[in-house]
Amino acid sequence: MFDQWQRPLDIRALIRQGITLEGEVSVAAMPRLQGMILRDAPICFSLSFGKNDEGLAVVSGEVEGRVEMTCQRCLKAVAIELNAKVQLGVVESEDGVKRLPPELDPLILGEGVIRLADLIEDEVLLALPAVPMHAYVCAPAYREHEGIRRAENPFASLRGLVKPPAH
Ligand SMILES: [Zn+2]
């Protein structure tokens, strides 16, 4: 695999030519994800550059992958399925953002360099859960529940001591 995602993108040219970029980028190529995702994983992407029906410059597509994060309840690894739609409105400057319809997130070209990895990283960051957790009730919450049940039966340990009434 060659390092195409670290190369600056000529987004204006991609839009003019109506190019679709597809492939796989590794989490290791995206530094802002390093502290959040536990191990390297491939992120699949498909991004189409072009004009929409209203003539607006857009980038649309999706990013997909399966990553591991730290569960905020049990602190063990939890697998997160990523499947995020990308809908970006491409504008030259901050001024253009106001003219975008609400369904488009702004991608401001300005003078800065935009790499494919940056674009994908932004979308992954938006798609990751703020508080990753297992879908099931994982260990610590279960122990807590057990504690409550014990507390509800404070006399359970006395059961053996209670003698049946004599006749
Ligand atoms: Zn958990």
CA of residue 149 to ligand 1 center, whole Å: 21
Per-residue pLDDT averaged across 127-152, rounded?
A: 71
Give mean pLDDT, residues 80-85.
96
Highest mean pLDDT among 1-5, 109-113, 145-149 belongs to: 109-113
Domain contains 162: no
* Cα distance between residue 23 and residue 116, in whole Å: 11
165 falls within a domain: no
Give the count of beta carbons closer than 10 Å to the beta carbon of residue 127.
20
Query: Rounded to the nearest whole angstrom, what is the distance from the C-alpha of residue 23 to the centroid of ligand 1?
Result: 31
Residue 46 placed within a domain: yes
How are beta strands 20-26 and 77-91 bridged, if at all?
Answer: unpaired
Greater pLDDT, 98 or 162:
98
* Close Cβ partners of 167 (under 8 Å, ≥ 6 residues apart): none
CA distance 83 to 60: 13
Residue 163 has a pLDDT of 55
Domain of residue 100, residue span: 4-156
CA-CA-CA-CA torsion sign (17, 123, 84, 26)? positive
Q: For 112-133, what is the mean pLDDT?
A: 92
In a domain, 77, yes or no: yes
Task: Give 119 Cα–ligand 1 centroid separation in angstroms.
Answer: 30
Q: Does residue 137 fall inside a structural domain?
A: yes
The structural domain count of the chain equals 1
Kindly give the distance from the C-alpha atom of residue 125 to the centroid of ligand 1, in angstroms, as a whole number: 21
